[in-house]
Structure 1
C-alpha cells in the first residue's frame, strides 16, 4: 500500500508470556476473516490491525512466537505519548487472557455431548474487539445477515469512514468519526436504513456521555446494566447485546440462542431436525455462567466439522 511520509511514534517491541495451551490460531483466524485485508492483515503468525488510538490512526502489530506474543504500536503522531501499560492492557484484553475458561472446561469435562469437543478445543478463548464500540457496531452490522455479507459490509463501512494510517490500512472508526458520516454514506456500505440510524444513534449517545461503553469496560460495570442500556436503543435486540458483551467486554455468559450457527451446532450435537430460538435458549441455560463461551466452542466445532 502506498502511503504519505509521516513521522511515526512506535512503542518498542514488547514481549508478553502466554498461558499454557493458548491457541493463537483462533485469534488469527478471527481477525483474518476479511481476505481483502483493508483494515487488518494476517500473514503467518503475525497480525497487523489499524485502529484509532487516542483519536489518532495507529497500527497494532502482534507476532506469536511459541509461548509469547510480541507486540508494538505505531502511532501517526510523534508528540502523543504511548503508554506501555495501556498497550499491555489492550493486548491482554483482545487476546482474552483474563477469561476464566478453566472453570468451564472442568465443569463439563465429562458431559456426554460436550466432553470430546471441549477436550479437542481445550484452551479456547474468545477473541475480543479493540473497543466495546467496535464490538457493538460490528454486531449491529451483522444482524440477520450471513457472515460473508457482514464482513463485506464491515469492510465498506470502514472504507466509507476513510480514516487511514500511514501504512495504508484503513482504521476502524471511532464514535466521533462515525457521527460525521451520513445515512447515505452508510447506505453505500450496504447497511439498511435502520442499521445506519442505529449506528449513528450509538455514536451520538457515546459522544454525549449517555452510553459510556469505554468507561464501563474500565470500571467493570455489571453486564446487566450495560444490557439494559443497550436494550433501550432502537435497533438493538438480545442477540446484538449478547454478542457485543462477548466481543466487547469478554463476558462469557450471554445467551446466543438467536445465533443461527449456534442453533445449527446444537442440532448437530443432538441429532435434531428442528430447534427453535426458545428451545435453544432452554438448552443453553444450564451452562451459565459460560453460555457465550460454549457458543464460541460450538462455532469452532462447527467450522471444522465436515459438511
Structure 2
C-alpha cells in the first residue's frame, strides 16, 4: 500500500453539500460509495490501483485523503485536488448564472428551491459515460441496481471492502454475457464495451482536459451514444453546463409542473424552452431535476 495523499480545498460561502451527498447516496447498499454524516468514502481505480477516496466537508473546507492498495505512479497531491474540485463542482460559475436570472419569472422560482446548486460530478468522464449509458430509458432505481451488479462483476475491490468503479480496461475485457447477467440490454452492453475498448486502444480520449464540444462530436459518432447520453456525460464528467437535456423524462415533467402546463411537454418544446438559457442549459435542467431529486439522474 502506498503512502496516502491528502489535500484540503476551500468551499465557497453557503456551499450546498446536500446535493453532493444526495448524488452519492443513491445506492442504498453502499457498495462503492458510503456516505455517513458529512463524509463520503468512494472506491475507484487510480493508476491501475484499487483506491479509497475519503472526503469530509465542513462549512468552509473539504479535506480529502486517498489510500491506494499499490504504488501510484502519476497521481499526486495536485491530481487529488483537481479530482476533488471537480467532484464538488467548485469550478462551475453558478454564481454568475444566479445573478443573471434571479429575477427571471421562471428561473427565480427554481432558485427559491435550489439556490446554490452545483452539479456533483463523477470521479472521471469515463464513470459518467458508463452511468449515462446504463441509465438510458430506464428509471434511476433500475440504473442504480444494474450499475451495482456491473461493479461487482468487474471485480475490483479495495482492501477496505468498498468496491471500485471499473476501469476502461476491465470493462473492455468483460464478456457481453456478464453484462447481460447484470441486466444490460445487448445494445447497451455492446456500447459500454465499445467505448471501453476505444479508450483502452487510444482511439477515444475522455480526459477532463479535452474540449467538451470536441468530445461531443466524437461521442455522437459512436453507435449507441445519443444526445442525452452525451449531454449527461459532459455535465457529470466535465462540468459542462450547456448540454441540452430535453430528452430527459424528469426534466420534461418538472418543466411541465414549473410552467403549469396541463399537457406533457415534447422534447422539441423542452429544447426550445431550454435554448433561451444558453450557455446554462444543463444547469437549468439540473435545477429542474432538483424539483424531484429522487427521480433524476
C-alpha contact (below 8 Å) 2:126/2:206 kept by paired residues: yes
Q: Which residue of 2 aligns with 1:290?
A: 280
Q: Which residue of 2 aligns with 1:237?
A: 226
Structure 2: distance between partners of 1:113 and 1:19? 26
Structure 2: distance between partners of 1:113 and 1:158? 40
Q: Which residue of 2 aligns with 1:173?
A: 166
Report the Cα offset of residue 303 of structure 1. Answer: 3.2
Report the Cα offset of residue 112 of structure 1. Answer: 1.0
Structure 2: distance between partners of 1:291 and 1:81? 35
Q: Which residue of 2 aligns with 1:275?
A: 265
Match of 2:136, SS state, is coil
Structure 2: distance between partners of 1:303 and 1:181? 32
Write out per-residue CA displacement over residues 244-263 of structure 1, whole angstroms, 9 at most, x where no aligned residue: 00001000000000000000
Q: Which residue of 2 aligns with 1:4?
A: none
1:256 and 2:245 are equivalent in the alignment: yes
* Alignment of structure 1 residues 153-164 onto 2, 5 Å: 153-164=146-157
Query: What is the aligned residue count?
Result: 294
Which is further off, 78-87 or 56-65?
78-87
Task: Give the alignment's TM-score, normalised by structure 2.
Answer: 0.95
Structure 2: distance between partners of 1:162 and 1:100? 38
Q: Where do 4+ consecutive residues of structure 1 move more than 6 Å?
A: none
* Alignment of structure 1 residues 108-123 onto 2, 5 Å: 108-123=101-116
* Alignment of structure 1 residues 58-69 onto 2, 5 Å: 58-69=51-62
Q: Which residue of 1 aligns with 2:30?
A: 37
Report the Cα offset of residue 81 of structure 1. Answer: 6.7
Match of 1:111, SS state, is coil
Write out per-residue CA displacement over residues 82-130 of structure 1, whole angstroms, 9 at most, x where no aligned residue: 5111111110011111001122101111111221321442211000111
Q: Which residue of 1 aligns with 2:21?
A: 28
Q: Which residue of 2 aligns with 1:88?
A: 81
Q: Which residue of 1 aligns with 2:41?
A: 48
Structure 2: distance between partners of 1:206 and 1:198? 12
C-alpha contact (below 8 Å) 2:113/2:291 kept by paired residues: no
C-alpha contact (below 8 Å) 1:256/1:295 kept by paired residues: yes
* Alignment of structure 1 residues 189-208 onto 2, 5 Å: 189-208=182-201
Structure 2: distance between partners of 1:111 and 1:51? 41
1:143 and 2:140 are equivalent in the alignment: no
Structure 2: distance between partners of 1:240 and 1:128? 15
Report the Cα offset of residue 37 of structure 1. Answer: 0.7
- In structure 1, runs of 5+ residues without a counterpart are 1-6
Q: What CA RMSD, in Å, does the superposition of the two structures yield over aligned residues?
A: 1.5
C-alpha contact (below 8 Å) 1:246/1:252 kept by paired residues: yes
- In structure 2, runs of 5+ residues without a counterpart are none
Task: Give the alignment's TM-score, normalised by structure 1.
Answer: 0.92
C-alpha contact (below 8 Å) 2:4/2:68 kept by paired residues: yes
